[in-house]
Amino acid sequence: MDPLEVIRRMYPWQGPPVARDPLFGLIGIVLSQHTNDKNAWAAEMNLEQLYGSAADLAKASVIDIASAIRQAGMQREKAAIIRELASRELRDGLVSRSLGMPWEKARDNLRAIRGVGAKTADVFCMTYLNAPVLPIDVHVRRVSQRLGLTKSRNYEEIQADLHKLVPGDKRKATHLSMIRFGREVCKARRPRCRECPLNSVCPWYSSVSKSQAGLP
């Protein structure tokens, strides 16, 4: 049994809405950190209505941006990153130019921007450049570790382990399906192990004990 194929087949997901403007797409990815899709999307829509361009965002204060995205949480930290992204886009068009770059170069350039980490850059490249990359978010990390697909806690090492298992053309679908599976079944707290189609091959389920999995 290939657990990732089971997850792709049983838990397909298209992902959250994607902004046409790559700058606001990247901002949306920043907003999605440590919150749910509904709150991130609402914050992004509010931000676009108030500040519809890089120029408008760059002129806005961090406090005003934070107020506009409050629903997404961590608003002061995210507002500072968003303002930096808008200023950088005005200076050299880095975000929009990335669409014409090889994805590896675009990822490296984006990661050089303060506040843009590996996962944010990878999600952008996966979404806008169709890059054969599998971003590692909290759900992908948890599912991978519980299923024994990786023993690492390091982002790059987990990603390398999954890239060995997943062909490039299936990495986006795998990333999205693992997120849905992690949210609905393999939860951080009280995972639904009895209902899980992978419980018979899950090392975490058999070794950590049923009691820790929230079972009698």
Enter the tokens of residue 60. 């806005």
Question: Average pLDDT, whole number, for the chain?
Answer: 93
Q: Quick one: which of 41, 34, 42, 111 has its CA closest to 78? A: 34
Average pLDDT over residues 182-210: 90
The phi and psi torsions of 9 (rounded to 5 degrees) equal -75, -40
Give the model's confidence band at 14: pLDDT under 50 very low, under 70 low, under 90 confident, else very high. Answer: very high
d(CA 76, CA 200): 44
CB atoms within 10 A of CB 143: 24
d(CA 56, CA 59): 5
CATH code 1.10.1670.10 for 3-12+135-207 = yes
Q: What is the pLDDT of residues 41-73, one digit of tens each?
A: 999 999 999 998 999 999 999 999 999 999 999
Of the candidate CATH numbers 1.10.8.100, 1.10.3720.10, 1.10.340.30, 3.40.50.920, the domain formed by 22-128 belongs to: 1.10.340.30
pLDDT at 207: 79
Q: What is the pLDDT of residues 130-181, one digit of tens each?
A: 999 999 999 999 999 999 999 999 999 999 999 999 999 999 999 999 999 9
Q: Yes or no: say if 49 and 18 are a contact pair by the CB < 8 Å rule.
A: no
pLDDT at 212: 57
Domain boundaries of the chain, sorted by first residue: 3-12+135-207, 22-128
pTM, rounded to two decimals: 0.91
Q: What is the pLDDT of residues 81-117, one digit of tens each?
A: 999 999 999 999 989 999 999 999 999 999 988 889 9
